[in-house]
Amino acid sequence: MDINEKYLLWKNQSLSDYDLTKELYEISENNEEIKDRFYKDLSFGTGGIRGIMGAGSNRMNVYTVAKATQGLSNYIIKHFDIPSVAIAYDSRIKSDVFAKEASSVFASNNIKVYLYKELMPTPSLSFAIRNLKCCAGIVVTASHNPSEYNGYKVYGKDGCQITADAADSILTEINNVDIFNDVKRMEFSSAIETGMIEFINEDVIDAFLKAVSSQSLNKDIKNKENLKIVYTPLNGSGLRCVTKILTMNGYTNLTVVPSQKDPDGNFPTCPYPNPEIKEALSEGLKICKQNDADLLLATDPDCDRVGIAVKHNNDYKLLSGNEVGVLLFDYICKMRIEHNAMPEDPVCMKTIVTTDMIYPIAKKYGVNVIDVLTGFKFIGEQIGLLESKGQDNRYIWGFEESYGYLSGSYIRDKDGVNASLLICEMTAFYRNKGLSLCDVLNELYKEFGYYKNVLKNFTFPGVSGFEKMQNIMKQFREAPPLDINGKSVISLSDYLNSIKILNNGQKEIITLPSSDVLKFELVDNISVVIRPSGTEPKLKVYISVVSNSKEDSQCLAESFENFFEKLI
């Protein structure tokens, strides 16, 4: 079926969503708009589905959601005798509608549904799957994307995002579903009445918060009620759980940013609701200055990530995900040792694009570092492997440079609720010593070296852009440079072909899953990672350098940035 045939098929359907019908008629004379909506189906992968909302097979709408859910249902039925799923959703436009649509499809396939009755953070979904012993779960969200996007992430029975093999099998099932003829549905109200859909009760939420609270390492910190905290959920799903976890642990001097407090999928004051971006925190920084606050916390719309700004020298400094991750790791190690709570053979996990500064700190505290591919699901997978050996207590910390953190094995995903609590605890601890987090970070830099991490994004839109991106990766892989920016290459790790090649010609097997990623280790403890984005037409270059001074480190990082600007 060609593009126009697909368009006419949709246009001639009696669609239940008037907005979709209206959109289809409005684009009837615009071939480019028709093409963009119908030239492909929404892609399904380990992150589930995600896309711009609207009409068409390449858009997020109740029909593409239902088709994906029917395919997922078919997969679940084949693999589980008594199937059940948990569902959560965030504040995005139509997230609640998509959650109900998915619930109705699951229910019509005799799959028991446990649905949160209000928007909840993504980590609470991972928790519910394990708590309720479900076979799978979904959370309707597009994470930190702009307001026109939505999607849903798919989780396995372990509470971790699905593996590549599971995603491939589910995709096969989805591709066999006719979007208008093969999807089973039942009325949401009928499914509630028959018990096929059941709202998740408060006991599960309380258990989640109790599990997060158990991660506190210093419950008796003095003056924590005086720590001035400003929090913004960025109009997302974090309000209830983050404010609750802080107040129940004694952090009561808490102000929520009024303009970003209530759920709003339009994100009116932060069009790009990403806590990595300073503009998203501008409303919170205003309140910080008004209140003379010590700390700003900002969680993304599905509350699995958190960004911060800290008061330092009468101003507010934003800290990167790498910096917060390093600070928390050092704090966790200190507190565990102080309270005699460090397990035997402790483990920290990080993604391969996360700061190398973790290695010398881990060496100091006797912690083993496990590197995984980009994506917190790989950290979750490693926690599961430890649990299968009865060793999950060895896990003390996991993080990624994109503001994702987790300190316990109670879930299998990053947790903005957990991180918010630990950040406040750590800030209060050092505040009592007359130190800001910037002071502590500078002490760590003096001890371990001034690490600087930079992410460069190179955009390649369209089909031709995708091909160019592939050719760049091919060239780096097949004709790897002997030096980069004047620094000799020590080794090349090719994660696609699962091999590490040393500069003396020796080869080592990489045991991580295959992925289109290249990591170059250079002299002077410098590393460069290159990979295509899994969700956007971008080539990502991660640069990690270290020097004896902040200035030298900055200059070195800038020289690498300029090198890749010219090269790519």
Active site residues: 143
In 131-261 the beta strands, taken as DSSP E runs, fall at: 136-140, 149-156, 197-199, 229-232, 254-256
Q: Are strands 295-299 and 229-232 parallel, antiparallel or unpaired?
A: parallel
Q: Which two tokens stand for residue 234?
A: 């960025």
Strand, helix or coil for residue 312: strand
Looking up tokens 């949709």 gives: 10
Judge contact between 332 and 218, C-beta under 8 A. Answer: no
Judge contact between 167 and 115, C-beta under 8 A. Answer: no
| Start-to-end CA span in the chain (Å) | 38
Q: How many angstroms separate the CA atoms of 86 and 387, rounded?
A: 22
DSSP structural state of residue 147: T
Q: Which two tokens stand for residue 158?
A: 């372990």
φ, ψ at 502 (rounded to 5°): -85, 160
Q: Any idea what the Cα angle at residue 496 is, between residues 494 and 497, rounded to 5°?
A: 75
Burial (0-12, 13-18, 19+ Cβ within 10 Å), 432: middle
Q: Which two tokens stand for residue 145?
A: 């994307």
Q: How many angstroms separate the CA atoms of 67 and 417, rounded?
A: 32
Strand, helix or coil for residue 383: helix
Alpha helices in 434-535 (DSSP H): 437-448, 462-478
Q: Which two tokens stand for residue 296?
A: 């700003």
Q: How many angstroms separate the CA atoms of 98 and 289, rounded?
A: 39
Q: How many angstroms separate the CA atoms of 383 and 379, rounded?
A: 6
Q: Which two tokens stand for residue 354?
A: 């996360």
Strand, helix or coil for residue 139: strand
Task: Say what angle helices 321-338 and 358-365 make with each other, to 10 degrees.
Answer: 0
Looking up tokens 């759980």 gives: 241
DSSP structural state of residue 458: E
The type of residue at 206 is D
Write b or e for each residue in 449-466: b if 16 or more Cβ atoms lie within 10 A of its Cβ, otherwise e. bbbbbbbbebebeeeeee
Q: Which two tokens stand for residue 489?
A: 């290459």
